[in-house]
């Protein structure tokens, strides 16, 4: 499968993991069952990223809007997160995976925040796939926090407003030091970003997969990678064949 994509492997893949609830509803199961099934796909996605030599994998685990879901579902999701970190952190560490977390942590329960901090600290020196977990994350909130930080630096006299450019923002958002995603995948057939990496995805290739997240297996991941491999990424420029035709 890798040979089909030749050398066109994205360095950074971001995934909106959508459809857990619908997967469970279609089977007459509680929504929690869908979220639990989705955790296994997280494990498989990390293994596939390693196999495909993807350096960075970002997973949209819990948005800042998800707190508006029914209290029991939110409670179940927090329980699943606790279980995942307790159960999988040691294995991720053994597999040389580095964990990073993006999103606002200030309003998160203290024990969850401690687990997220522990996951980052324990794997900080690992050099394999970097797994970026977007938790309590919303792109607009991220940009507001970045603008506030920049404004404070200007107010303190530490930053000249005239020097503010794209690099200033990129160095201030949650993903500072991480390359922008080359490919954003969304499962479940929905075709929108839903407040995910709005700054970083400016030039990302978007692939929308019809299957629900608990059905997103290794084969589906490679199909998305193959779709990416056939895209012509020009970043606003004109390709050589187009220049020849237009000349």
> Both tokens of residue 176?
């500072």
Active site residue 66: yes
Cα separation of 235 and 203, whole Å? 7
What residue has token string 């999103």?
Answer: 103
Q: Tell me which of 4, 25, 66, 215 is the catalytic residue.
A: 66
Q: Tell me which of 18, 76, 88, 174 is the catalytic residue.
A: 18
Cα separation of 7 and 232, whole Å? 14
- The answer to whether 223 is a known ligand-binding residue is no
Contact 116, 174 (CB under 8 A): no
CATH class of 3-230: alpha beta
Active site residue 18: yes
- The answer to whether 31 is a known ligand-binding residue is yes
205 closest CA partner among 21, 15, 5: 15
Answering whether pTM is above 0.85, one says: yes
**103-140 pLDDT per residue, tens:** 998 888 899 999 999 999 999 999 999 999 999 999 99
- The answer to whether 23 is a known ligand-binding residue is yes
Which pLDDT belongs to residue 165?
Answer: 98
CA dist 32 to 8, 78, 217, Å? 37, 11, 19
Per cent of the chain over pLDDT 70 is 92
- The answer to whether 19 is a known ligand-binding residue is yes
**52-92 pLDDT per residue, tens:** 999 999 999 999 888 888 888 888 889 888 888 888 999 99
Is pLDDT above 60 for 196? yes
Which pLDDT belongs to residue 94?
Answer: 95
- The answer to whether 230 is a known ligand-binding residue is no
């Amino acid at each position: 499968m890798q040979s089909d994509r030749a050398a066109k492997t994205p360095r950074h893949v971001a995934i909106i993991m959508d459809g857990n609830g619908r997967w469970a509803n279609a089977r007459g199961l509680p929504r929690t069952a869908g979220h639990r099934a989705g955790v296994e796909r997280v494990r498989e996605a990390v293994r596939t990223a390693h196999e495909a030599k993807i350096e960075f994998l970002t997973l949209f685990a819990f948005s800042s809007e998800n707190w508006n879901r029914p209290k029991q579902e939110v409670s179940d999701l927090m329980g699943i997160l606790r279980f995942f970190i307790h159960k999988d952190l040691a294995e991720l560490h053994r597999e040389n995976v580095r964990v990073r977390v993006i999103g606002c942590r200030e309003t998160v329960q203290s024990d969850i925040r401690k687990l997220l901090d522990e996951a980052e600290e324990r794997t900080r020196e690992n050099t394999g796939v970097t797994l970026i977990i977007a938790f309590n994350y919303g792109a607009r909130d991220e940009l507001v926090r970045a603008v506030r930080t920049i404004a404070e630096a200007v107010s303190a006299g530490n930053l000249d407003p005239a020097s503010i450019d794209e690099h200033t923002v990129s160095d201030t958002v949650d993903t500072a030091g991480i390359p922008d995603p080359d490919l954003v995948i969304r499962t479940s057939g929905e075709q929108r970003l839903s407040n995910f990496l709005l700054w970083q995805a400016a030039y990302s290739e978007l692939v929308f997969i019809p299957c629900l997240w608990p059905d997103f297996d290794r084969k589906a991941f490679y199909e998305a990678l193959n779709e990416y491999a056939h895209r012509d990424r020009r970043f606003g420029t004109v390709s050589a064949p187009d220049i020849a035709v237009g000349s």
